[in-house]
A and B are shown apart, each in its own frame.
Chain A
Amino acid sequence: DSGVTQTPKHLITATGQRVTLRCSPRSGDLSVYWYQQSLDQGLQFLIQYYNGEERAKGNILERFSAQQFPDLHSELNLSSLELGDSALYFCASSVGGRANGELFFGEGSRLTVL
Chain B
Amino acid sequence: DQQVKQNSPSLSVQEGRISILNCDYTNSMFDYFLWYKKYPAEGPTFLISISSIKDKNEDGRFTVFLNKSAKHLSLHIVPSQPGDSAVYFCAASARAGNMLTFGGGTRLMVKP
Interface on A for B, CB 8 Å cutoff?
2, 4, 33, 35, 40-45, 48, 50, 55-56, 58, 90, 92, 97-108
Contacts and interface: CB of A to CB of B under 8 A. Distances in A.
A102 B49 contact: yes
A56 B94 CA distance: 13
Interface of B: 4, 6, 31-32, 34, 36, 41-46, 49, 89, 93-95, 97-105
A90 B93 contact: no
A100 B43 contact: no
B85 to A, nearest CB: 15
Instruction: Choose among A41, A48, A100 the residue with the greatest number of B CB atoms under 10 Å from its CB.
Output: A100
Given A99-B100, A103-B100, A43 B95 contact: no
8 contacts: A33-B99, A42-B102, A43-B44, A45-B101, A100-B93, A102-B46, A102-B49, A103-B100
Among B94, B95, B101, the most chain A Cβ lie within 10 Å of the Cβ of B101
Nearest to A33: B99
A100 B33 CA distance: 8
B104 A41 contact: yes
Contact of A100 (B6, B32, B44, B102): B32
B34 A48 contact: no
